Each structure stands twice: as structure tokens, then as C-alpha cells.
Chain A
Amino acid sequence: MATNQEHVKLLGATGSPFVCRVQIALKLKGIEYEFLEENLATKSELLLKYNPVHKKVPVFVHNDKPISESLVILEYIDEVWKQNPILPTDPHQRALARFWSKFIDDKIVSASSKSVFTLDEKEREKNVEETTEALQFLQNELKGKYFGGEEFNFVDIAAVFVAFWIPLVQDIIGLQLFTAEKFPKLYNWSQEFLDHPVVKETIPPREPLFAFFKGRYESLLAASK
């Protein structure tokens, strides 16, 4: 057990939903690690060395071997540290967990961001429609307390983006994208999930993150003038 817990590093940025996913899994499994905060404007030598292909965070480093892409990292963590599993054992259930996590990445992350960070109303409308449809599909998948049933799992962790980041960025422009009225089941899930001790201790502080994203939106406005 000791060898597994040595030399575990996470290159990340506070405020990144993808880094947060990895931190939730590490916290759930009680894995100690060294967190290296990256300044994404001036990427470190280490980041460029460990993720030369995408040059992005998170990068998970175990015994000096780097792994990139949050969902790939989650699978690795689950395979190496077997306590509190996040993927089911049944192959079909595993395929479903992978499907919905990929769905979040492909259909929700980009469309929801574009719903906010655009000045083109037609663009916003299109992305709001896409996000709404995707959130509907995701909500329909929720059959218990969590996507994982009684305990949260891979899909819940991937969906932290929906639970924490979407409500935060939509507030910048007062967009009613993900609300309790529109998605009661999904909203309830998000409150349960964010309230779980593991998640609560891991998500970044709201105020500074909101200020950061608001700043980004304001830059967008300023650039258009």
C-alpha cells in the first residue's frame, strides 16, 4: 500500500472543473498527493514535459509517470487504488458510465460555455438549445440519489461541471440555463452532490472563481467595442 501512495503529484489549476474531477476521486480514495498549481498563462517546464501533446491540466503523475485527460486519469486511479470504486464491475454498467461521462464532455461542456461566453445572440440561442437538450438527456439518466445509485460514481464526478460550474457562469449574465424549475431532478442531484463531504471539501471557493469568469466575460465585451 505504501508504494502506491508515494510520489503522487497532480498538476492543476484551482478553478478547473477537469482538475476538480481528479481531486474528488483522490479525496474519495484517501490518496495523498502533492498539488502543483499551474499558471495557465505561463505554463511550467514540468507541464510541457509531462503533457507535450495537449499542454493542459490536469496531469496526474504517479512514480514519475504522467497521465493526461481527466477521464483517462480517473480510470487509472480506480484501477490502481481499489478502495471506494468509482466504476462498476459489470461490463455493461461500465460502458454506460463511460458513455455518460463522454456525453458530458462532448455535448455539455462546450455548448454550456458558449451559451455564456458569446456576444452573438443567435450563437447563444443555439448553444442554449443544445445544452438544454443535453441536460434533459442527462437528467433522464438519473435513477437514484446519484448517477452511481446510493453512492456517487464516475458519472457524478464527471458531472461536477454541471453541478458547480454551469450555475456559476450562468450567473454572470443572469442566464436561466440550469435551474431548479427547468431541471428539478438534476438540480436536486447537484445539491446532494455538492453537499457530500468529499465534494464540499474539494470544490474551489465560489467568489474568486466567479470574479475570474466575470472578468473573462468583461474582457470579451471590451474587445468587441
Chain B
Amino acid sequence: MADEVILLDYWASPFGMRVRIALAEKGIKHEYKEEDLRNKSPLLLQMNPVHKKIPVLIHNGKSICESLIAVQYIDEVWNEKSPLLPSDPYQRSQARFWADYVDKKIYEVGKNLWTKKGEEQEAAKKEFVEAHKLLEQELGDKTYFGGDKIGFVDVALIPFYTWFKGYETFGNINVEKECPKFIAWAKRCMQVESISKSVPDQDKVYGFMVEIRKKFGLE
């Protein structure tokens, strides 16, 4: 019986991008379904009744929700090639810790950077730089967080890079100047096929952010 894999997603979502990258890394044939987030499909509401959010991975009719949980699932089921988590338990725990850090910190600091003003934005800028410097420290001299090949943390983190044009423009920040190693890592990631073909380009995301700012009167 052939595997049926469906991904419910939204093109600009960094969380959706994580799952797309994992599916591409493993070469998993799947159906991509773009959701209209203002008019969620019955399938989405049925497959993620708790959060009603994307991404949702559906494998042979069973749903897996929450992007990092879906990425781990993909890694465990399609385990013959391109492992995303290391095999050593301690290394795995560190990968999970840093992916959790990305979830707790990076989404928030990025969001605050482009949606807040004045003092709040200044504070957000400081936090943004600190968080990315910490990640630079964790990366160290490695090519990727996963070592020689991309791993769990790279997959968790790289999608946010697609939002950087907006962060820099609206947040009035030059990330390359503040965190050159981070940008170097991001550019290396964008050379990886499974990443570059799974994420939108910064200009397209920037256009989306402009629309959101207009819609919510954030200008």
C-alpha cells in the first residue's frame, strides 16, 4: 500500500516551512494543500480540532500537529536517509533544547521587532540581537547546527530567515552587521536544495508583511 502524505499549510508560515523542508530532505512524495486562514477547510478543522492551525501533516489518514512534532515524526518514520536528529541521546537532547529555544524565543522577538513601535521596538531589537548572538555561539565553527549536514535545529530555525527583509526594514536593523556568522549560516542553508525549494523568497514574504501592517494599522 502506497503511503498517502498530505500537508495542510500556508505559504508564508515559518512553521509550515519546517515540515516542507523535512519532507523534501527525505524525498517524501506528498500533496500540498494551501489553506485560506480566513476560511479554514473542514479537513483542517477535523485534523487539528484543538488548535485549528497549520501546519498539519496527514499520514495515511492520521494527523500530526505542531511543526517540530511533525518533523520528529517524519524523521522517525522515514529513517533510511538524511537523519535530522543525531543518533547519540545527549546530542539529541541538545538538538531538542535548541529547537525549543527557537520556538520560545525567535518567533516572539521577530514578531515584536516588526509590529511594535518606539521603546517597545528598541527593546525588541536588543532581544533580537541577543538571541541571534546566542545562536551564533551555539553554532560555533560548525557548518550547520547539525554538523556537516542540516539537522533538526537548522530546519527549525532557517524559515525565519525568509522574514528578515521585513524585520530589517520595519525593525530598522542590519542583521548582517550585528550577527554576521548567523547570516553566513543562513546563506549556506539557502544553498541546500531541500531548503531553497521549500521556502518563499524574502521579497514575497516582505510584500506579505507590508499587507499585514496595512491591514492592522501598524504603520
Contact = CB atoms under 8 A, between A and B. Distances in A.
Interface residues of A, number: 21
A62 interface: yes
Contacts of A75: 92-93, 96
Q: How large is the interface on B (under 10, 10 to 19, 20 to 34, 35 or more residues)?
A: 20 to 34
Interface of B: 50, 59, 62, 64-66, 69-70, 72-73, 76-77, 89-90, 92-94, 96-97, 100-101, 134
The 10 closest A-B CB pairs, nearest first, are A76-B93, A79-B89, A91-B76, A95-B73, A72-B96, A95-B64, A67-B93, A98-B69, A91-B77, A72-B97
A103 B100 CA distance: 14
B78 to A, nearest CB: 10
Contact of A53 (B50, B62, B96, B101): B101
A4 B90 CA distance: 13
B50 A103 contact: yes
Interface in A41-89: 53, 62, 65, 67-69, 72-73, 75-76, 79-80
A102 interface: yes
A53 B76 contact: no
Interface in A96-110: 98-99, 102-103
A99 B50 CA distance: 10
A94 B66 CA distance: 13
Contacts of B77: 91
Contact of A99 (B59, B66, B96): B66
Given A67-B97, A95-B73, A76 B92 contact: yes
29 contacts: A53-B134, A62-B90, A65-B90, A67-B90, A67-B93, A67-B97, A72-B93, A72-B96, A72-B97, A72-B100, A76-B93, A80-B89, A91-B73, A91-B76, A91-B77, A92-B59, A92-B62, A92-B73, A94-B72, A94-B76, A95-B64, A95-B70, A95-B73, A98-B66, A98-B69, A99-B64, A99-B66, A102-B69, A103-B50
A212 interface: no
Nearest to B64: A95
Nearest to A98: B69
Where chain B touches its partner, the secondary structure class is helix
A99 B92 contact: no
Contacts of B64: 92, 95, 99
Nearest to A63: B90
Given A69-B97, A72-B100, A92-B62, A79 B76 contact: no
Nearest to B70: A95
A53 to B, nearest CB: 7
Contact of B69 (A68, A76, A79, A95): A95
A62 B90 CA distance: 9
Given A53-B134, A68-B97, A69-B100, A76 B72 contact: no
A102 B93 contact: no
A68 B96 CA distance: 10
B93 A99 contact: no
Contacts of A91: 73, 76-77
Contacts of B50: 103, 137
Interface-central residue, A62, A65, A73, A98, by most chain B CB under 10 Å: A98
Contacts of B76: 91, 94
B73 A102 contact: no
A76 B90 contact: yes
Contacts of B73: 91-92, 94-95
